[in-house]
Amino acid sequence: MKKRNIFIVTVLLSFVFTSCSDNFLDVTPKNALSDATFWQTEEDAELALAGLYENWETWSNVIYFDAISDNAFFPGWSHYIDGSATPTNLSESYWADSYSGSWFEYQRIRKYNNFLEKIEEVEMDEARKEQFKAEARFLRVYNYFFKYTMFGDMPLITETVTPDFVMARTPAEELRNFMLNELEEISEILPVQNHLQSGGRITSGAALAMKSRIELFSGNYEQAMQDAKSVIDMGVYELQPDYRELFLDDSNNEEAILSIAYTQDIYPSRHPQFLMPGMDGGYSNMAPTWDIVEAYETINGLTITEDPEYNPERPFENRDPRLGMSILYPGGEWNNRLYNPLDQQIPNAQGEMVNNPEYFENSVGSPAGLIIKKYIEPMPESVMQNSGLDLMVIRLAEMYITFAEAAFRTGQNLDLGLEYLNKIRVRAGMPEAAQLTEELIRRERRVEFAFETVRFHDIKRWDLGHEAFDGPIYGVRRGTVDNETGEVEWTGDHIILVERTFIPERNYLLPIPQREMDANPEMTQNPGY
């Protein structure tokens, strides 16, 4: 059984905070516990900490985040990067309303700050109190990281404030320094454990790994290399041997450094249903792009433009095994059948031609003719809505590739950087690379971490918007699938998913929602809006 104590406590916390009584003489509100009555014991502090973990990050923010990149397409998020974003059309969007409230209302930040203030009043073991505070500080940094990357300058608030509080934007550099200092301090407090050992709680490795990620994105390569090496050398993380199983079985996963932990029936996730093919009861509404398909090398370790053996009429054959492990494509085997998003009609068991629900233009068909396979396997529809599978946010492989990139950028430890990168390639079934190059590192990061949140940040820091966010985004070519053999005959052009326009002056930042501009006289708008 997976260790989930803190998340079971979260459920108990929700029960305690929402239970009611028939005693009308008891004037204490039963829909919430007041600070005066709650913050009394160490058990209270632990309950409150569990409440911080509840929904600290969502499965959709992990998997769907690649929809704001050239890796994937989700219709509901197209306007974030297709050039059509405005302060008005994002104000009521998913991003503005995530975490049960606006990013600008700071509901999560207020919750973390309140915890950090109130726990000081509790008489408890001081070392345990410091660990609880360190976990809350990490969650606050993680929330600020996305504010920082998506909006740039943002108010830095480290104490509880009233709802009508207004404040000017804190410069992004100051935000970044705050995050890095926090992560450095709490890494000395938190335990050195992997995700299994910690029972899903934040660890020293998570703090240093997050610090390394921020440093890499900021161009501080020497420090990013040092922190990545510190995580690697902790000795509590290991590469899982099977890349496919890495995302399907968390019972013995020692590669995870930071994960969102779910528990079936208690704290479940619905992500499989949103990814699964329509014929299985899924929605398949998040689709890989053709661009990510082309990014995978051939099995010979060459790009598709370099390998003379690559056959564009058989584009999925003899490719990096991670392609088939991460993406379900036309003619691919799935659940004792062949996946066919290209034909409007397919034969049923009696040989009669019937409408195909997975046709790419149907409501439950992938609009690109491709399925994100990385996080799913055949399962009953009831399980799709009740998944207990953890989702990784940071894993050991990222530390290896971070070290490799930092080694390349600084010219230091090149042999060790190459060794680390080749560990990833060999695990995937690919030949070792002979030397580190910028193209190799960028490609390896992209395919290894496809649909794991990092692509947008990489595009931004490498300034690839003119390539990734401009022009049409494609799905597969139109064609027909032989339902007996799985062979595909391509008969038309690529499906066009969306036309994007890259606007450089926006510097990859989203607009401040108009409602925030109206409510806060100290707020200023991002350039280009």
Joined tokens for residue 374: 């990385």
Joined tokens for residue 476: 């597969």
pTM of the model: 0.92
What mean pLDDT do residues 482-492 have?
96
What mean pLDDT do residues 124-131 have?
97
Query: What is the distance between the alpha carbons of residues 17 and 24, in angstroms, rounded to a whole number?
Result: 18
pLDDT score recorded for residue 423 = 98
pLDDT score recorded for residue 126 = 97
Using pLDDT thresholds of 50, 70 and 90, give the confidence band for residue 11: very low
**Alpha carbon 242 to its chain's center:** 20
- By CB neighbour count within 10 A (0-12 exposed, 13-18 middle, 19+ buried), where does 349 fall? exposed
Joined tokens for residue 107: 């509901």
pLDDT score recorded for residue 35 = 67
Alpha helices, H only, 309-358:
321-326
Q: Look at 23-27, 196-200, 201-205, 212-216 and tell me which has the smallest mean pLDDT.
A: 23-27
Higher per-residue confidence, 275 vs 80? 275
477: helix, coil or strand?
Answer: strand
The residue type of 406 is A
pLDDT tens readout for residues 168-188: 999 999 999 999 999 999 999
pLDDT score recorded for residue 89 = 83
Q: How many other C-beta atoms are found inside a 10 Å radius of the C-beta of residue 291?
A: 18
499 backbone dihedrals φ, ψ, rounded to 5°? -105, 125
C-alpha distance from residue 517 to each of 96, 167, 275, 317, 335 (Å): 13, 12, 36, 52, 50
Query: What is the distance between the alpha carbons of residues 145 and 275, in angstroms, rounded to a whole number?
Result: 27
Say whether pLDDT at 254 is over 90.
yes
Say whether pLDDT at 55 is over 90.
no
Q: What is the DSSP pairing of strand 488-500 with strand 327-328?
A: unpaired
Report percent pLDDT > 70 for the chain. Answer: 90
With left for phi above 0 and alpha for psi between -120 and 50, is residue 319 left, alpha or beta?
A: beta
Joined tokens for residue 358: 């997975």
pLDDT score recorded for residue 482 = 96
Most confident of 78-82, 87-91, 161-165: 78-82
Exposure string of 310-327, with b = 16+ CB inside 10 Å and e = fewer, is beeeebbeebbebbbbbb
Query: What is the distance between the alpha carbons of residues 463 and 468, in angstroms, rounded to a whole number?
Result: 9
Name the residue with tokens 């590469």.
239
What mean pLDDT do residues 251-272 have?
93
404: helix, coil or strand?
Answer: helix
Q: How many other C-beta atoms are found inside a 10 Å radius of the C-beta of residue 294?
A: 15
Query: What is the distance between the alpha carbons of residues 345 and 365, in angstroms, rounded to a whole number?
Result: 13
Say whether pLDDT at 97 is over 60.
no
Query: What is the distance between the alpha carbons of residues 24 and 31, in angstroms, rounded to a whole number?
Result: 14
Beta strands in 289-390 (DSSP E): 327-328, 333-334, 337-338, 345-347, 353-355, 371-372
Mean pLDDT score across all residues of the chain? 90
Q: Look at 16-30, 202-216, 250-264, 334-348 and tell me which has the smallest mean pLDDT.
A: 16-30
pLDDT tens readout for residues 203-247: 999 999 999 999 999 999 999 999 999 999 999 999 999 999 999
Say whether pLDDT at 406 is over 80.
yes
Say whether pLDDT at 348 is over 70.
yes
Say whether pLDDT at 94 is over 90.
no
Residue 399: CA atoms inside 13 Å, Cβ hemisphere, count? 27
Q: What is the DSSP pairing of strand 337-338 with strand 345-347?
A: unpaired
Using pLDDT thresholds of 50, 70 and 90, give the confidence band for residue 104: low
**Alpha carbon 6 to its chain's center:** 22
pLDDT score recorded for residue 105 = 58
The residue type of 275 is L
pLDDT score recorded for residue 362 = 96
Q: What is the DSSP pairing of strand 337-338 with strand 471-481?
A: unpaired
DSSP conformational letter for 509 = P
pLDDT tens readout for residues 432-450: 999 999 999 999 999 999 9
Query: What is the distance between the alpha carbons of residues 62 and 108, in angstroms, rounded to a whole number?
Result: 18
Joined tokens for residue 332: 């691919």
What mean pLDDT do residues 507-517 have?
90
pLDDT tens readout for residues 463-477: 999 999 999 999 999
Closest CA to 62 of 511, 321, 374: 374
Name the residue with tokens 């085997």.
333
Query: What is the distance between the alpha carbons of residues 424 and 224, in angstroms, rounded to a whole number?
Result: 19
